[in-house]
Amino acid sequence: MGKVTGFKEFDRKTEDYRPVELRIQDYGEIFKGTHDIAHLQEQGARCMDCGVPFCQSENGCPVDNLIPEWNDLVYNDKWQEALTRLHKTNNFPEFTGRVCPAPCEGSCVLGINNPAVTIKNIEQTIVDRGFEEGWIQPHIVEYRTGKNIAVIGSGPAGLAAADELNKIGHSVTVFERDDRIGGLLMYGIPNMKLGKDVVDRRVGLLKDSGVEFITNVNVGKDISIVQLQKDFDAIIFTTGATQARDLPVDNRDASGVHMAMEYLTKNTKSLLDTGHADDSDLSAKDKDVIVIGGGDTGTDCIGTALRQGAKSIVNFELMGKPPEDRSDNNPWPLWPLIYRVDYGHAEATQVFGEDPRQYHLMTQSFIQDDKGKVIGINTVNVDFKDGQLIEISGSDKTWDAQLVLLSMGFVAPEHYLSDDANIELDARGNYQADYGEYKTSQAGIFTAGDCRRGQSLVVWAIHEGRGVAAKVDQYLAN
């Protein structure tokens, strides 16, 4: 432990984002791009080196990051050693350091009665400095086992599995149906939160390490599982949970009502392909935009619509406003269910003068004009009593909207791949495989990530990618 009294001497202070008035003018990362090393060392000194580090527990970091160890190394100015410890458990800390909500901080022991250690900031700084200093290089494999593995889907779970199996010496081919590698990392998370150069940089390292990537191939449609089984010794499905939850109300088919991921994907692809030179029909420019549903995806829609020049933005939330502090039924070290202001909320508040979120709102129907275009939404306020949703009489309201984005989560993976492979599904429609085993009902076919566990975090996808790689290696050894 670097400084025994650090948690008493120093206050928590996170690294600032770029000023709102600057960052909403472009799609560059919201982060400043430079790190105050002395500041981060001071923040690392706040780590208490707990006897039981709950930040690494099941409520904390899913990949079991050695957080107290690299906090101490950072405090003692041993950044390269800190990077080694970080990479020991996390294949892609440059991703999690940017997009993870940091459940580790929610479980930080210091957080019982003081603000938690700035673990996420420290993690991002360690890996960013590792790239700056040239410490992160391709992993050149000297021995190949002769075994070939196909990974279907190039999101965080697929990339983690490919990285781990390649390091062992197996030959790995990753198939991606889109035109770029990265899955959710590439098209699901906007550039301002995760720069695509950051994704491409890691993919380039994996390529240089020997992983093969094939894009624009939709396995289950363009090529069958039967064919892959002839060419590969094992197959891993890491396709994500891409089937979005819909909102089946009147006039749902009105033009201008879109799934959030369709909107985010098209915006990012336009940015990468043409720098937004094309005239996208999904642009929010000069439109009243309503985002239905919260979470990270809803926030990303808000941030994107702002940058496109939306006339107004409102975010509908079915549930009530969370409390400022933990409630009695949400004790430490559980994830704190509290009111938070994410980057998109802060941006919208500064631009429009108020937080875009409206709580206890339920959509009753969409309103369309005589050409079938959405022009508004009818809502009613709701409350919850004994677990039952109750509509509040007389609270009906009409909202103007020319663009509506549905951000209500994801229910399951698409099933054309599982149908082609003839694998069993669980009760929720996910690919059936026990946690820790990752084996599907078909021999030699494994699955991991959101398509197995349901919609979750990038850090959980990395955890499962590492886990499935270990099980596939065991399978190939038998």
For the chain, the structural domain boundaries read 6-132, 148-242+411-477, 246-408
Q: Is residue 471 classed as helix, strand or coil in its secondary structure?
A: helix
pLDDT below 50 — which residues of the chain?
Answer: none
pLDDT at 279: 61
Q: What confidence tens digit (pLDDT) does each residue in 57-85 have?
A: 888 999 999 999 999 999 999 999 999 99
Same fold, 6-132 and 148-242+411-477: no
Q: Report the candidate in 140, 221, 211 with the shortest Cα–Cα distance to residue 181.
A: 211
Cα dihedral angle (239, 274, 28, 338), rounded to 10 degrees?
-40
121, containing H or E segment: helix 119-132
pLDDT at 1: 62
CATH superfamily of 6-132: Alpha-helical ferredoxin (1.10.1060.10)
Q: Report the candidate in 248, 163, 146 with the shortest Cα–Cα distance to residue 202.
A: 163
CATH superfamily of 148-242+411-477: FAD/NAD(P)-binding domain (3.50.50.60)
Q: Report the candidate in 452, 456, 457 with the shortest Cα–Cα distance to residue 471.
A: 452
Q: What confidence tens digit (pLDDT) does each residue in 132-157 have?
A: 999 999 999 999 999 999 999 999 99
pLDDT at 3: 86
**Domain at 246-408: CATH code:** 3.50.50.60
pLDDT at 82: 98
Structure tokens at 370: 């005589």
pLDDT at 280: 67
pLDDT at 58: 81
Q: Report the candidate in 440, 413, 417 with the shortest Cα–Cα distance to residue 220.
A: 417
